[in-house]
Structure 1
Amino acid sequence: MHAAREDRQAAAFDHIGARYDEAFPHKDGQISAGEWLLGRLSPGSAVLDLGCGTGLPTAAQLAGAGHLVTGLDLSAEMVRLARSNVPEASFRQGDLRDAEGEYDAVVAFFVLLMLPLREFPDALARVHRALRPGGLFCLSMVEADLDDVPIAFLGQEVRVSCLLRDELRAVVEEAGFAVEEEHVLSYAPSTTQAVPEVQLFLNCRRP
């Protein structure tokens, strides 16, 4: 069941492809989180970009600053686009379970959305293990109260889960992260095929 669900999610984003960036052209929250990382990482740090999508803007932002970026995405089409957009980074198809090695930072922008709520603690525990002590973790989520609900998104059906801001912070802290910054943004996509949303960004550290 788990594999079949992942296959459906990956197929949906294979079809969405470059239209994702067209629908969400302004990613101010992700750029700001990247700047937060850039101000704290040592030169040439190893960074894992979970759910890297097309590689824009995050992988490009971090690799362009000289960091060693590894991107993972379930969608083969997203990986293809990311390799084209950010040739100086490394991308492969997979998810958090396919992450290997230790990292100075992990970014996971709108990735937990793709999981049922019951899988959030394990996903966060995996991120915690992938980080070196003192490592940095940037996470984003759409604020809502949903658990594995099918929605229409850019012409495809995807299943999403969301938490309210206090619940998200509690889950992240229970996973062993210290939340250093929290930002809330209102976002209106540039398409009628996705609805306006409230985006939550947490900048964290593994103590």
Structure 2
Amino acid sequence: MSHQATESLYDEIFLDYENNYHNNAGLRAFVREAASKLPPHAQVLDVGCGTGRPIAETLCAAELDVTGIDLSTEMVELCRKRFPTGTFIKADMTKYQPEPQQKFDAIFAVLSLFHVSHRECYSMLFKFSEWLRKDGFLFITTIYSQDLVERGARPDSSGIIDLADVQFMSRNVPLTALSGEKWSNYLTAAGFVDMQATRYDFQPADPTLKVAHHHFITVKKGDSHPLMGPYPYPDKVRGPYSINKAAYKSFLGKLNDAESKALADVLKKNTNVLKIDPTTSNESFLFGPKEKLSYPDNHFDCVVVAWALDGLDNLEEPLREIARVTNSASPNAKIVIIQAAPDNDLLKQVNVVCPGVAEKANNKAPMHHGLILHRAAEALKTNGFANIELTRIADSACRFAERDLAARSQSAANLFAKMYYADEEDVQSMQAVLAPGMDSILKETPNDIGTQAVMLVATPSRAA
């Protein structure tokens, strides 16, 4: 079901939905207990606020600062009338962005993550972590995938139901659900800690509707930055490799302008910029770990390193060189590093299938750009660029224009296998195992493979 179809569904059934589900004693108790954990007047986001009962109702009664978002126009209007102290916004959770610098003390996602795909659900957990203050809470109400078998759905071998038709409100509706183990894994990946989960069986008001096996999950945002995830870090990551320059240039030609716009905004005040990416040298990378940049000290007011650090075994010396040629005395001095986000669709697929068929020992481990960003930040701090900010480039994507889905999927698989595994003799095997994953993504986003990115901006640590 598309997000537009979900909006139409709830615009149609919102009162019937409320009549059946608002009188949920277990959910009311969960929300009251959650509110008791928060400071007075805490800022709270209710994702998929529905008609406001009982979540926004309980939170507003506790005099918390409530923001609610929902796809349904009818539900948002009802919330605005019922709870004038809250702020209610018609918004798609996958596109929503809080106000700049806005952070929440808690986020509630109560029976709302059903209506996004598995891919989007995973991504939303990282976004929730980004939107929370340190030690903020995430409160989730969901139904585990195994509890939907009685409604006609079947989890896959990893415990996932991905937008399969499920009986809901006396109709078949595509829903997504995870096993309890998957929830634990995904929440840990996004930097959450201290997971607690309880179950409550609820009978809707209409006795012909099935009992809902609700699971109430509470987690806390940990110390780790979500954009340096997923966590925990693997014991071994892929070592140095060469990117195929021709494939990489083809990749750049298919990228949309999300990354270039984000970078242009960051560089507005810079006048002398060095840009490093895998195309800037006759070799795969501009420099090796023991090589020097051919520029004098303090030559640039900014250095941009885009998608180049994952090919290096040692980051300390290259980043020392980058810091050396960056004039930290410039008022606009900065070092910018761009790598993949933890929910990058392309990298997730590559890591799932390619290490298992790789022949070279170096290629048998996954790539982990979050770990690269973590190591880069530590290296930059030791070289005088200690102020680190990370921002998401959420809409970056690589577009494939072939008319046929199979042709688009194979084209994407061919490109990415050549780009990342040029040193493998049997690139065709890489292409073959990548194609089904590309097909899965392109069924959901018909022409785009997500290349979601993180931009790390490091500025000098100046004396007060």
Fold shared, TM-score > 0.5 on shorter chain: yes
Instruction: Tell me the residue number matched to 2:103.
Output: 102
Give the letter aligned to residue 40 of structure 2: P
**Which ranges of structure 2 fall in alignment gaps of 5 or more residues?**
146-154, 156-160, 223-464
- From 181, 186, 194, the equivalent of 1:171 is 186
1:187 is aligned, of 195, 199, 202, to 202
Once structures 1 and 2 are overlaid, which stretch shifts more, 7-16 or 139-148? 139-148
Give the alignment of 1:149-168 within 5 angstroms. Answer: 149-154=164-169, 157-168=172-183
Whole-angstrom CA distance in 2 between matches of 1:192 and 1:8: 26
Q: 1:50 aligns with which of 47, 70, 75?
A: 47
Distance 2:50 2:197 in 1: 23
**Which residue does 2:137 correspond to in 1?**
136
CA offset digits 1:106-145 (Å, max 9, x no partner): 0000111111112222110110111011111101111223
The aligned counterpart of 2:90 is 93
How far did residue 64 of structure 1 move? 1.2
Quick one: which of 19, 29, 48 aligns to 1:22? 19
Q: SS at 1:148's partner residue?
A: strand
* Structure 1: gaps (5+ residues): none
- Cα distance in 2, alignment partners of residues 122 and 29 from structure 1: 28
Q: Is the CA contact 1:83–1:91 (under 8 Å) kept in the aligned structure 2?
A: yes
Tell me what 1:119 maps to.
120
1:196 paired with 2:211, answer yes
Distance 1:81 1:205 in 2: 31
| CA RMSD of superposed structures (Å) | 1.8
SS of 1:19's equivalent in the other structure is: helix
Of residues 179-188 and 134-143 in structure 1, the stretch that sits farther from structure 2 once superposed is: 179-188
> For each residue in 1:21-55, what CA deviation from the matched residue of structure 2 results, as whole angstroms up to 9, or x when unmatched?
11114223332222222222111110000000001
- Give aligned-pair identity as a percent: 25
Structure 2 SS opposite 1:17 = helix
Asked if structure 2 preserves the Cα contact closer than 8 Å seen for 1:134 and 1:205, the reply is yes
- Partners of 2:27 and 2:92 lie apart in 1 by 20
Change in 2 beyond 3 A, CA 1:91/1:48 = same
1:205 matched to 2:220? The reply is: yes
Inter-partner Cα distance in structure 2 for 1:77 and 1:157: 22
Find the counterpart in structure 1 of residue 33 from structure 2. 36
* 1:18 and 1:81 in contact (8 A); partners too: no
Give the deviation of 1:193 after TM superposition: 6.1
- What SS does structure 2 have at the residue aligned with 1:138? strand
Q: Whose Rg is larger?
A: 2
* Pairs aligned (count): 204
Q: Hey, what does 1:148 align to over in structure 2? A: 163
Q: CA offset at residue 156 of structure 1?
A: 5.1
Shift of the 157–85 alpha-carbon distance from structure 1 to 2, 3 Å rule, reads farther
8 Å Cα contact 1:25-1:190 kept in structure 2: no
Whole-angstrom CA distance in 1 between matches of 2:85 and 2:120: 32
Q: Distance in 2 between matches of 1:188 and 1:98?
A: 32
Matched, 1:8 2:9: no
Higher strand share: 1
Amino acid at match of 1:38: A
Residue of structure 2 in register with 1:78 after alignment: 75
SS class of match (2:2): helix
Post-superposition shift, 1:102? Answer: 1.1
| One-letter amino acid of the structure 2 residue matched with residue 177 of structure 1 | F
Greater shift after overlay, 184-193 or 51-60?
A: 184-193
How do residues 55-74 of structure 1 correspond to structure 2 at under 5 angstroms? 55-74=52-71
Letter in 1 for 2:80: R
8 Å CA contact retained: 2:184, 2:195:
no
Structure possessing the higher relative contact order (Cα contacts under 8 Å, 6 or more residues apart): 1
Q: Which residue identity lines up with residue 41 of structure 1 in the other structure? A: L
1:192 shift after superposition = 5.3
